[in-house]
Amino acid sequence: MDGLLKDRLLEEGERVAGSKRADTIEFIANNDSSSTLRFSSSRFHQGISVSDASFHIRVTLGRKIGVASTNSIERSALDRCLDEALSIARTTREEPFLLRIPGPCRYSNVSSFYASTARASNEEKAALVSAGFKEGAPSGVLHSGALATSVGEIAVVNSKGLKAYHPYTSAHLSSVASSGDASGSGSFVSNDLTMIDIKGLMRASAETCLKSSSPKEAPPGVYRVLLEPAAVSELVHWLSYTGFGAKGFHDGTSFLSERLGEAVTGEKVAIYDDGLDGGGMAVPFDFEGAPKRRLSLIDRGVAAGVAYDSLTASSVGGESTGHGPFPGDNEGPFPEHLFMEGGDAAASGMLSLLGEGILVKSFHYVNGLLNPRESLMTGMTRHGTFLVRGGAVKCALRPMRFTENILEAFRRIESVSRETAVYPNGSFPLGSVSVPYILINGFSFTS
Amino acid sequence: MKGLFVSVLARLKRLGADYADIRHERITTESLLSLDGEVEGFSTDTSAGVGIRVLYKGAWGFAATNAVNEALAMKAAEEALAIAKTFSSVNTDKVRLSETEPFVECYSTPYKIDPFNVPPEKKISLIAGVTGAALKEKGISSAEAFLEFSKAEKEFCSTEGAIIAQTILTSGGGYHVIAGDGNDAQVRSYPDGHHGLFATRGYELIDELDFMGNLPRVLDEARSLVSARECPSGARDIIIDGPQLALQIHESCGHPAELDRVLGAELGFAGGSFLTIDKLGSFKYGSPVVNIYADPNEPGGAGSYRYDDEGVRAQRVDLVRGGVFTGYLTSRETAPSIGGSSNGSMRGEGWGGLPIIRMSNICIEPGNGTLVDLIADTRDGLLMSVNRSWSIDDKRLNFQFGTEMAWEIRNGKLGQPFRNPVYYGTTPAFWASCDAVCGKDDWRIWGLNSCAKGEPMQVSHVGHGASPARFRSVQVGVGKI
């Protein structure tokens, strides 16, 4: 993987941001080299190495804003990019507000870079995965998935004197073990490749696969469910996408619109965003250079907050919460370092607490746009759905579709595990969602 | 770029590559967004780079770099070769490529008005005008309009002698309005939901869409939804409009017909397919009125091109003929598994995306009559319009779609509107219940800009030709439990 370009990024940032050609100038650089080894049926079929960068320049002329970006660090390309941003700012209309960008900031010390991950060769990574193939081989289980690593850096410089830089590495294994119609899955994300127990995850997914064979049909209906963290992560991700961003909150489509301060779930639910928490994929600042800090979203069941960047905050006279996306991202800010707090139950004891119901390992193709105002979502169970009787798995079930108002379902949470697991969140390597096991007394399966 | 291409490919041959191709792309994008009468976003982006694919002793490697000079392109080429060598030493089965002619051609998608030459003031005036006018209307709480234009200049060269240059110009846009009463917020979009409508056309597309002319209808419909009843549940005859049928085709026919999915390439991520190879040529996918084809040559489709990213000439292929499953989307690697050669369905997202099988324009053939005729022919049913939510299982069988709006149909006439409509089913049973597809007058190419597939995730433009169609006794209304 390519080396980092810290000095050059900051030098170009200072040159562009210091050019005094606009009232404010922001320079946001992300240089990233990624490697993805994809495997299917226990053979490697796609090996992908990509070195790319993005350089976003946002300028203001009074209340006019212009944004341009390029993926070339060549000085001539950056100058053209600045010219384009200025041209747009001159052409466009005035905003009803003045964009307020952050000035110089102090950042928490966050460690996201592991040299061993940056240096890991494709041969080493292929060998780790190949060893995992052997975990399923004796029982005829085949593995499909990907081991992806990246090394990159973010630099933000602006004309108010802000200067921020952060290097990172990331590693993510996703593995599906399959045999006929049975399957199991495993996933782990970390800044440090050596933290991923690749063989262990592939072994566990093979074990789930074997338990999933000969599935029975369960009729649609309302069941007690134990959702494992992989399943919970999908629900929390979609809650974030449909409800925790400032744009949806203010246009009225969010389930939190006009409900801050109200109880929206049961008291066992606490969801927050914290880019500084090393329990997730930490990063010290957002893509505007605003410092990361903890933002409570649902606090003991009560709607507590939504995520803002400088643009959305300026438009409503508020403050950024440190969730600035790349300039030009029209979807606006979202929490990208999500945590659902663990509870007091031991995960190992939750099948007993469930007693009678359904154990769901993970969901597939969840969609939260049915009625975002009511947090109505649908999706399929996948890679392990089990009927539980008397606190033990009785048999595997075929995949089932749920359709459920998730906030209402979260009112019916009976138990939350102490243990949590981390999953990727969004396309940027440093987004994550950390969630526990949850036991819900009543979850609707519709087909 | 040709000199660089020749040098890189010659070096890879010297180093033992059995096959290699190199693709340079430069993509220029312009995006505009208006919210509530203001211009919330106006940006441009330029992305350029080179991607190199190498086949060595039956295994692939791919490397791409944004730094386009000979030294770094050569470094990427060697990295791609190294990956292929690593895989070759581990894999037991070997990739075999179907034959293709090494084409030499330049091609550009046709257009009338270059959107990049249209004055920005005109574009701003259009989207700010629409959202500003919408917001002045009673009951409308928010309005958003957007335009996006892109030009992809692609050059492709292979060790087999192909030299292909293509320029793909794409235009797209749309808007949605939100009507709310404090307790509910209902969205109505034009001309399609989510990201609007995209096509390989110029600014003439935007002119033809007539954003302003359609606004009064869209506003009325949005407002009507706020006081509308919830869509009732039960088995109903439904007519699905063109935009929604486009997504139904996309999810339940296009994706499962991708032969790489069928062969397991996406098992670790998006899933497999119920359209297994044993079903080819005999499986009853739908009723006899269902004829679905893929065609990258379809004029103006969002997924139109002359050559795919393996240098294979774009071809029409019937996926479903008379209700029977008849074909797959294939690549040079996958086609031999069904005893054929590639039908040109491989595309990568930009220069950095490894080409994978992608839908081009997946279209249902028009049938007969008009939407008005079809409504008149329906005694008791629902008309469902424009997608709001979508979900389907990893084999592409069990699906559920929500639409923005539905209307009751009673004795051949449209009646009251319903909000939050949802329908669900399983793919073959659903398509088997299709008894009518409207004709050419109601058929058009819809276009999405957001089809996601692969790891790292690649997003592609795809087109879908569709007219409204009727489905008998479909389960409706699980939105409320």
- pLDDT tens track for B219-267: 999 999 999 999 999 999 999 999 999 999 999 999 999 999 999 999 9
Distance CA B371, CA B362 (A): 21
- Provide the 3-class DSSP secondary structure of residue A123: helix
Give the tens place of pLDDT for each residue, B94-149. Answer: 999 999 999 999 999 999 999 999 999 999 999 999 999 999 999 999 999 999 99
Does B83 fall in a domain?
Answer: yes
Q: Give the position of tokens 């001539």.
A: A76
Does B221 fall in a domain?
Answer: yes
Domain boundaries, chain A: 6-211, 221-445
Total CB pairs under 8 A between chain A and B: 238
Are residues B59 and B108 both part of a single domain?
yes
Using CB atoms, which residue from B267, B389, B478 is nearest to A446?
Answer: B478
Give the tens place of pLDDT for each residue, B285-324. Answer: 999 999 999 999 999 999 999 999 999 999 999 999 999 9
Confidence band, pLDDT 50/70/90 cuts, at residue B345:
very high
Contact call for A44 and B354, based on CB within 8 A:
no
Contacts of A130 in chain B (CB under 8 A): 90
Name the burial class of residue B204, with classes exposed (0-12), middle (13-18) and buried (19+) by CB atoms within 10 angstroms of its CB. middle
A2 has pLDDT over 60: no
Distance CA A379, CA B33 (A): 31
Quick one: average pLDDT of A344-365? 98
Q: Find the length of chain B.
A: 481
Contacts of B398 in chain A (CB under 8 A): 380, 399, 401, 447
Q: Going by DSSP bridges, is the β-strand pair B140-158/B163-180 parallel, antiparallel, or unpaired?
A: antiparallel
pLDDT at A175: 97
When the pLDDT of each residue in chain A is averaged and rounded to a whole number, the result is 97
pLDDT at B1: 80
Of the candidates B260, B122, B389, which has an alpha carbon nearest to the alpha carbon of residue A373? B389
Distance CA A49, CA A41 (A): 21
* B108 contact A CB<8A: no
Does B73 fall in a domain?
Answer: yes
A436 has pLDDT over 50: yes
B478 has pLDDT over 80: no
pLDDT at B195: 87
Best residue in A73, A92, A241 for a mutation probing chain B (most B CBs within 10 Å): A92
Quick one: average pLDDT of A121-137? 95
Using CB atoms, which residue from B59, B91, B422 is nearest to A370?
Answer: B422
pLDDT at B181: 83
Does B347 fall in a domain?
Answer: yes
End-to-end CA distance of chain B: 59
Are residues B401 and B283 both part of a single domain?
yes
What residue ranges in B348-394 does DSSP mark as E strands? 356-357, 362-364, 380-392
The stretches of B233-310 forming alpha helices (DSSP H) are: 242-249, 259-262
Fold of A6-211: PmbA/TldD fold (3.30.2290)
Using CB atoms, which residue from B48, B398, B475 is nearest to A380?
Answer: B398
In this structure, are residues B37 and A320 in contact, taking their beta carbons and an 8 Å threshold? no
pLDDT at B182: 79
pLDDT at A162: 98
Q: How many angstroms separate the CA of residue A220 from the nearest CA in chain B? A: 11
Last residue of a domain, which of B227, B251, B269? B227
Are residues B220 and B312 both part of a single domain?
no
pLDDT at B205: 98
pLDDT at A1: 47
Q: Give the position of tokens 């000095």.
A: A7
Using CB atoms, which residue from A50, A382, A447 is nearest to B424?
Answer: A447
Are residues B334 and B247 both part of a single domain?
yes
Last residue of a domain, which of B172, B192, B227? B227
Does B481 fall in a domain?
Answer: no
Are residues B236 and B160 both part of a single domain?
no
B480 has pLDDT over 60: no
Q: Give the position of tokens 């127990």.
A: A197
- Sheet hosting strand B292-294, strand order edge to edge: B324-325, B317-321, B292-294, B362-364
Contact call for A380 and B393, based on CB within 8 A:
yes
Cis omega (within 30 of 0) on the bond before B456? yes
- Provide the 3-class DSSP secondary structure of residue B372: helix
Give the tens place of pLDDT for each residue, A49-90. Answer: 999 999 999 999 999 999 999 999 999 999 999 999 999 999
Quick one: average pLDDT of A382-403? 98
In this structure, are residues A28 and A55 in contact, taking their beta carbons and an 8 Å threshold? yes
Report which secondary-structure segment, H or E, holds B135: helix B120-135
Give chain B's domain count.
Answer: 2
Confidence band, pLDDT 50/70/90 cuts, at residue B481:
very low
* B286 contact A CB<8A: no
Are residues B211 and B299 both part of a single domain?
no
pLDDT at B479: 47
Best residue in B45, B390, B419, B430 for a mutation probing chain A (most A CBs within 10 Å): B45
Using CB atoms, which residue from B42, B182, B266 is nearest to A258?
Answer: B182
Rg (CA), chain B: 23
Confidence band, pLDDT 50/70/90 cuts, at residue B68:
confident
CB neighbours of B359 closer than 8 A, spacing ≥ 6? B250, B254, B255, B258, B294, B303, B329, B345, B451, B460, B462
Quick one: average pLDDT of A33-37? 97
Are residues B218 and B264 both part of a single domain?
no
Contact call for A366 and B391, based on CB within 8 A:
yes
Contact call for B93 and A49, based on CB within 8 A:
no
Half-sphere exposure of A169 (CA within 13 A, CB side): 21
Contact call for A330 and B389, based on CB within 8 A:
no
- Percent of chain B, pLDDT > 70? 99
Q: How many CB atoms lie within 10 A of CB B253?
A: 25
Q: How many angstroms separate the CA of residue B183 from the nearest CA in chain A? A: 9
Does B264 fall in a domain?
Answer: yes
**What range does the domain containing B308 cover?**
230-476
Are residues B283 and B314 both part of a single domain?
yes
Between positions 339 and 378 of B, the ones with CB within 8 A of A are 352, 354, 356
Are residues B407 and B437 both part of a single domain?
yes
Contacts of A48 in chain B (CB under 8 A): 62-64, 354, 456
Give the tens place of pLDDT for each residue, B381-408. Answer: 999 999 999 999 999 999 999 999 999 9
Are residues B164 and B303 both part of a single domain?
no
CB neighbours of B168 closer than 8 A, spacing ≥ 6? B108, B109, B151, B152, B154, B200, B304, B305
Distance CA B247, CA B396 (A): 13
- According to the 3-state scheme, what is the secondary structure of B80-114? HHHHHHHHHHHCCCCCCCCCCCCCEEEEECCCCCC
Distance CA A249, CA A253 (A): 6
Are residues B264 and B207 both part of a single domain?
no
pLDDT at B191: 98
Last residue of a domain, which of B227, B259, B278? B227
When the pLDDT of each residue in chain B is averaged and rounded to a whole number, the result is 97
DSSP B412-466: TEEEEEEES-EEEEEHHHHHHTEEEE--GGG-EEEEEEEEEETTTTEEEEEEEEE
